[in-house]
Amino acid sequence: METNLKGKVALVTGASRGLGFAISLALGRAGADVALTDILVEEQEYDKDELEKYSVLAAHFAEDGAVKTLSGAEQVRSMGSKSCAFKMDVTDRDEVEKVMKSVEAELGSVDILVNNAAVMDNLERFDKQKLELWRRDLGVNLTGAFNCCQAVWPGMVRKRWGRIINISSVAALMGASLQPSYGATKAGLIGFTKSLAVEGGRCGINVNAVCPGFIATESVQLYDEMMTERIKKGTALKRLGRPEEIASVVAFLASEASSYITGAAIPVTGGMDLLNL
C-alpha cells in the first residue's frame, strides 16, 4: 500500500539511532520533510558524567560514535525531501517550544509527530528501585510525549489534519521484569494515545501507538548472545525484528492509507506477546 507523505512535515524524537533513525528515513523516503531531534547531536560537546545520570545508554553511544542525527537529516535530503536536525530534551518544555518554532521556520508546521524518545536503562529489583529514576523515566517516556504533543496540537487543530504516533512497547502489554517504570510509562502512553484520539478525532487528528517487541537496534545488540537467543525463542517468528519493520508501520500510520485508524495500540512483536499470554 502506497504511503505518500509529500507535502507533510514530520518531527521524530530520539532520532539519533535505532528506531528513531529508521523512522526518520522511512518518512523521508515516503516524501515527508523531516526534523530529527535528540539529546545527542554530532559535533556537540557533552559532560559524560552529567549525561550518564540522564541515561547510561545515551552516555555510551555519545562516546561510541553511534550518533547519527545530522547524518540522518543529510540522508533524508539525499532522498529529495527537506530535513533539519536539532538537539532537543523532551523533558524541557522551553527547549521543546523553541525547537518547534525553529522547525516551523525551516520546514513548516508539524503535521506528523513521532514520540520515540525514551530511556530504558533502569534495571533493578522493585525493592531496590530509586525514586529519582522512577521520576526520570516518567519525565522522559511519558511527560516528554505530553510536552511534544502540546507543542504541535494547535497547528494540527488549525489545519484539521494531524498524525501522532507514540512508540510504546511490548512491555506495556506484558509487563517488564526488573523494569517497573519502563513498563508503567509505556502502558501510560497507550492510555494517553487513546485519550488524545478521542479528543483529536473531531479535529482530523489521528493518534496511534506502536508497540515494538525486541528489535535489533544498537541498544539490543549490546545484549549477550545467550540473552539474544532466549529472546528469539520467545517469539513466534524466532528472530529479532528489524528497525525498518517498525518504521514501515509508522509510515503507514502517518499516511492517508490509515485514515480510519485511531486510538489503536499495534503490536509489532514477531508474536512475542502471543507466546507469553
Taken in order 200, 32, 247, 245, the sign of the CA dihedral is: positive
Catalytic residue among 46, 182, 223, 260: 182
**What pairing do the DSSP bridges indicate for beta strands 33-38 and 9-12?**
parallel
Are 162 and 200 in contact by the 8 Å Cβ rule? The answer is yes
In angstroms, the CA 66 to CA 60 distance is 9
Are 275 and 236 in contact by the 8 Å Cβ rule? The answer is yes
Q: Concatenated DSSP letters for the chain?
A: -----TT-EEEESS-SSHHHHHHHHHHHHTT-EEEEEES--TT----HHHHHHH-HHHHHHHHHT---HHHHHHHHHHTTS-EEEEE--TT-HHHHHHHHHHHHHHT-S-SEEEE----------GGG--HHHHHHHIIIIIIHHHHHHHHHHHHHHHHT-EEEEEE--HHHHH--TT-HHHHHHHHHHHHHHHHHHHHHGGGTEEEEEEEE-SB--TTGGGS-HHHHHHHHHTSSSSS-B-HHHHHHHHHHHHSGGGTT--S-EEEESTTHHHHT-
The answer to whether residue 46 is catalytic is no
Q: Which residues are catalytic?
A: 182
